[in-house]
Amino acid sequence: MQKDSSNHSRQGMAALTLGAIGVVYGDIGTSPLYTLKEVFNPAIGIPLTADNLIGAISTIFWGLMIVVTIKYVLLILRADNRGEGGIMALTALASHACGGASRKRTVLLLIGVFGAALFYGDGVITPAISVLSAVEGLEVVTPAFKPYVVPISIGVLVGLFMVQRHGTATIGKLFGPIIVVWFLALAATGLLQIVQQPQILAALNPWHAFTFLQSRGWHLFAAMGAIVLAFTGAEALYADMGHFGKRPIQIAWTAFVMPALALNYMGQGALMMRDATALANPFFRLFPQAWLIPAVILSTAATVIASQAVISGAFSMTRQAMQLGFLPRMQVMFTSTKEAGQIYLPGVNWVLLIGVVLAIVGFGSSSALASAYGIAVTVTMLITTLLTFFVVRSAWHYPLALALGVTGVFLAFDAVLVAACSLKFLQGGWFPLVMGGAIFTVMATWKRGRELLLEHIRRDDPELLPFITALAADEHAMRASRTAVYATANPGTVPQALMHNLKHNQVLHERNVILCVVIHDVPWVPFSDRVEVTPLVRGFWQVVVNYGFKNSPDIPKALALCKEHGLDINLFETSYFLSRETVVPTPGSGMAHWREKLFAAMSRNAGSAVEFFRLPNNCVIELGTRVQI
């Protein structure tokens, strides 16, 4: 029996590792398509010599070891928020670790949200540069294909975004095997070149990386701005930890992905040492002429998969931001009956598609897009390291010197990468930063606007307990023989919907539930802690429903759990009363007037609470109220 259990465990680990290869490493796995071509781009100014090739590849190899292996695989994967990773989960973990220091928590929260906002910039650039660089392989087959590269790339990506509404369950099963074939191709083609030019193996010596960077002088930053393309995608290791677990991600990297990447980069270097003309497209020149078309097809499939992972990540990130109160409600469609994490957000999908198409048309080539690529990712990597320091110091309680030592080296390395990418600001680096800044403004405005709204409610609405005590004592009040659920954001005051129902309908239900939904800064809240039921006065109960930021809110299911706490609610005889606020911007304290107008516009266009909380449409009554902020 024990042997069977062990076999099942090994099979489960193998399946998770295969899945991690397919989803987690698609982005970083497609970097060989364009990295070395950009490092030795004439605009960078690095001569194509044997010493420089060995030095650049040594820098890439040891950069992967420091940034990916040591920083992410060994250190940051330990910073899990109840099994979940990603910058939003890390932000919640770091801010929670700071305890009662509310100002520090707020600052950390805003820094983390800015990092999350930059992720959307990456969500536009990654699909554009990955697919474009793959389709550019057609130019190696014959220059006659050059005019068709951009239209074909747009067509591939439009098709990818069009199928998002069908979910990723079916295509997801193909991710692992295709990417495994991709990495095997990387390793095999690289190894064939290394055998012909073994001198490139000198790149394994870190001294060559040091001398290469030292010899660049101030041009070091320009060189690193191109080399950083090899590290993009490292954040995916941490972001997808909740899907696959820490161990499969670590095994996939150390046993398969890292060796394949190292062999391919060295193979490209070996090829260019023998043939300088291969610089035009060193990746596709690794393949014999007869294999070029299959190589283009395989690389396009790999880049589509890498793009899919980023798009799915944008959906998950948006949903988490909505749960934490940084974005208004949007339509969320669940594309799988088994996997709660497989979701589709139409609004996010089409905005990303528009951004990707504009990026491809505006920049026109993978080399031009390389200038825009990297800056958003490196800033996010820097923020991740900064947040990790607070986790190491405050949550793990390491001594200050040790916490600084553990994260300080990575912080310095990330700062160099950010500085290097900043040199490309005018050449396109502004694009993801402007996009990230706009999204951060939206998120911060929504969060602050909701705070102002709740302050207004607390200030102007009567206290709950005295109000309902007087209602319960009124023996002449007309009572309807159903259960009424009144949603409120502030459990201490009377819900606007309750006051409007009494004012307009002049009726009180026999059973009244004051409902408050609380989203906690943890990924999941178990069913055992989902509801808290407090009897108030005759005919009134207060129910607090707790969710994590990765839970899927479902109010009817939550109310069914109240039976275990002494409140039996017949869901077929229940009406839900919601208050829909119309926000009126007013000059004065609060936010800048333009931000108040922005918040009012977002509030008007926010998705329906009925769909978000999965309320039955035929049992919901919405009552409006105007609120000045």
Q: Residue 133: phi, psi to the nearest 5? A: -65, -35
User: Is residue 248 a contact partner of residue 17, using CB atoms and an 8 Å limit?
Assistant: yes
Q: What is the domain-level CATH number for residue 317?
A: 1.20.1740.10
Is beta strand 620-628 parallel, antiparallel or unpaired with respect to 508-520? unpaired
Looking at residue 106, its pLDDT comes to 82
Q: Is 430 exposed, middle or buried (0-12, 13-18, 19+ CB in 10 A)?
A: middle
Instruction: Quote the pTM value.
Output: 0.81
Distance in angstroms (rounded) separating the CA atoms of residues 108 and 387: 7
Integer angstrom CA distances of residue 109 from 326, 437, 546 = 11, 15, 21
The sheet that has 508-520: what strands, in order across it? Answer: 531-535, 540-548, 508-520, 479-487, 574-584, 620-628
| Same domain, yes or no: 509 and 401 | no
Q: How far apart are CA 620 and CA 445, in angstroms?
A: 29
Instruction: Report the domain count for the chain.
Output: 2
Consecutive 10-residue averages of pLDDT for the chain (629 residues): 45 76 84 92 90 96 94 87 79 79 80 88 85 88 87 91 72 73 96 96 96 88 90 80 82 94 97 93 92 91 83 82 87 65 82 91 87 84 92 88 90 91 86 90 92 80 88 81 90 87 86 92 86 93 91 92 92 90 78 89 86 90 78
Residue 131 lies in a domain: yes
- Closest among 203, 194, 202 to 230, alpha carbons compared: 203
Q: Which residue from 580, 523, 551, 585 is spatially nearest to 90, judged by alpha carbons?
A: 523
pLDDT at residue 3, rounded to an integer: 40
- The DSSP annotation for 80-93 comes to -BTTB-SHHHHHHH
Task: State the Cα–Cα distance between residues 169 and 360, nearest whole angstrom.
Answer: 28
pLDDT of 8: 38
Regarding whether 466 and 404 lie in a shared domain, the answer is no
Residue 494 to residue 466: CA distance in whole angstroms: 10
Tokens found for residue 360: 């491809």
Give the three-state DSSP class for 409: helix
Co-location of 196 and 317 in the same domain: yes
For residue 410 the two structure tokens come to 């990575």
405's CB contacts (< 8 A; 6+ apart) are none
Residue 435 sits in the same domain as residue 515: no
Q: How far apart are CA 72 and CA 178, in angstroms?
A: 25
Residues 472 and 504 in one domain: yes
Residues 116 and 191 in one domain: yes
The CA distance from 348 to 314, in Å, is: 8
Q: Which amino acid is located at 47 in the chain?
A: P
In a domain, 395, yes or no: yes
Do 426 and 506 belong to one domain?
no
The answer to whether position 482 is within a domain reads yes
Using a 10 angstrom Cβ sphere, with 0-12 exposed, 13-18 middle and 19 or more buried, the burial of residue 294 is exposed
The residue from 415, 448, 481 where one domain ends is: 448
Q: Residue 365 sits in which domain range? A: 15-164+176-448
Whether residues 531 and 395 fall in one domain: no
For the four alpha carbons of 88, 92, 98 and 102, in that order, the dihedral sign comes to: positive
Q: Are 419 and 551 part of one and the same domain?
A: no
User: 31 vs 25, 37, 236, 399, 446, CA distance in Å?
Assistant: 10, 11, 14, 38, 36
Question: 271 and 242, same structural domain?
Answer: yes
In DSSP notation, 425-473 reads: IIIIIHHHHHHHHHHHHHHHHHHHHHHHHHHHHHHHSPBHHHHHHHHHH
Single residue among 380, 415, 448 that ends a domain in this structure: 448
Amino acid in the structure at residue 281: N
Distance of alpha carbon 586 from alpha carbon 594, whole angstroms: 10
Residue 266 lies in a domain: yes
Q: Are residues 83 and 142 in the same domain?
A: yes
Identify whether residues 439 and 564 lie together within a single domain: no
171 inside domain? no
Q: Is 3 part of any domain?
A: no
Whole-number Å distance between alpha carbons of 514 and 484: 9
**3-state DSSP helix/strand/coil % of the chain, to nearest 5:** 70, 10, 20
Do strands 343-344 and 333-334 pair parallel, antiparallel, or not at all (unpaired)? antiparallel
Q: Is residue 291 part of a domain?
A: yes
* Domain edge (last residue) among 414, 448, 482: 448
Residue pair 211/56 in contact (Cβ under 8 Å)? The answer is no
Tell whether 7 is covered by a domain: no
